[in-house]
Amino acid sequence: MRILALGDVFGRPGRNLIISKAGEIRARYRADFLIVNCENASGGSGVSSVNANELLAVSSVDVYTSGNHIWDKKDLNNIIQQTDRILRPANYPSPCPGRGWGVYRLGGVRIGVVNLSGTAFMESLNNPFLAFDEIYEKIHPSCDAIVVDFHAEATSEKIAFGYHADGRANVVYGTHTHVQTNDARILERGTGYLTDIGMTGPYDGVIGVDREIIVKNYITQRRSRYETAQGRTQLNGAVFVLDEKDFRCTGIELVREIYD
Ligand SMILES: [Fe+2]
Ligand SMILES: [Fe+2]
């Protein structure tokens, strides 16, 4: 079984890529299941209700995960309450709209998808390691495979989480930094692991944002309004190959494409 995960969709370039090409990408990578992180889909921060509906209409994406930016556009709240195809990090306080995990059917296989946020250099949320333990106890009897999008800043926290979930989650990958790491590995108990799968959106900016704005911000040490970068577009992610019988990860194929 091949699970394709694509990193943070950023602004119109990322959105257009998913809306127009997700089916073709899914077919080309022979993916049985497609997970896309959507936290930056609208102008680089959050997902508007209009854009959420456009993304939900893409039937080749099974589920969207997200992260710290998910509620930046306030009109998402109703949609995220109603759909089980857009997840938010499970370890935000429970009154926050939306849900942090779901179990999805793929033929006779049940895939649990869990979205968590790290806490190092991020919001001080519920402990994501303990949150995973609780969710795992709840869902593992009804799942054949469990996939975790661990949305976090610190590589150390992501690596530690990979070891924590090894043998319980079948796949653990990171999102949030928008830069793909080169450390794909299968951990000792069979969990496929990658610290960050990278982003889907502008290639010529600074993690999605217009480069001149960001360079100027660093020079002046003041912050001006972000705009989505123009230019080429990139697609980043990974295919996690799982054994058909015991669902241990047997291979990881990196996805990195650049479009003119
Ligand atoms: Fe992001
Ligand atoms: Fe993020």
The one-letter code for the residue type at 43 is G
Residue 118 CA to ligand 2 centre (angstroms)? 10
Neighbouring residues of 211: CB distance < 8 A, sequence distance ≥ 6: 204, 205, 229
Mean pLDDT of 9-15: 98
| Domain membership flag for residue 223 | no
| Domain membership flag for residue 225 | no
DSSP calls for the chain: -EEEEE-EEBHHHHHHHHHHHHHHHHHHTT-SEEEEE-TBTTTTSS--HHHHHHHHT-TT--EEE--TTTTSSGGGHHHHHH-SSBB--TTS-TTSSSBSEEEEEETTEEEEEEEEE--TTS---S-HHHHHHHHHHHHGGG-SEEEEEEE-S-HHHHHHHHHHHBTTBSEEEEESS-S--S--EE-TTS-EEES---EEEESSSBTTB-HHHHHHHHHHT------B--S-EEEEEEEEEE-TTT--EEEEEEEEEEE-
By the CB criterion, residues less than 5 angstroms from ion ligand 2 are: 67-68, 176
pLDDT tens across 139-192, in order?
A: 999 999 999 999 999 999 999 999 999 999 999 999 999 999 999 999 999 999
Residue 125 CA to ligand 1 centre (angstroms)? 17
| Domain membership flag for residue 146 | yes
Domain that includes residue 62, residue range: 2-203+231-259
Number of domains observed in the structure of the chain:
1
| Domain membership flag for residue 215 | no
pLDDT on residue 159? 98
pLDDT tens across 241-252, in order?
A: 999 999 999 999
| Domain membership flag for residue 217 | no
Catalytic residues: 69
Residues 216 and 193 sit within 8 Å (Cβ to Cβ): no
| Domain membership flag for residue 89 | yes
pLDDT tens across 51-81, in order?
A: 999 999 999 999 999 999 999 999 999 999 9
Mean pLDDT of 103-119: 97
Q: How many CB atoms lie within 10 A of CB 177?
A: 21
pLDDT tens across 199-256, in order?
A: 999 999 999 999 999 999 999 999 999 999 999 999 999 999 999 999 999 999 999 9
Residue 220 CA to ligand 2 centre (angstroms)? 24
| Domain membership flag for residue 106 | yes
Residue 154 CA to ligand 2 centre (angstroms)? 12
pLDDT tens across 39-55, in order?
A: 999 999 999 999 999 99
Q: What is the CATH number of the domain that holds 142?
A: 3.60.21.10
| Domain membership flag for residue 211 | no
Q: Which ligand is nearest to the CA of 178?
A: 1
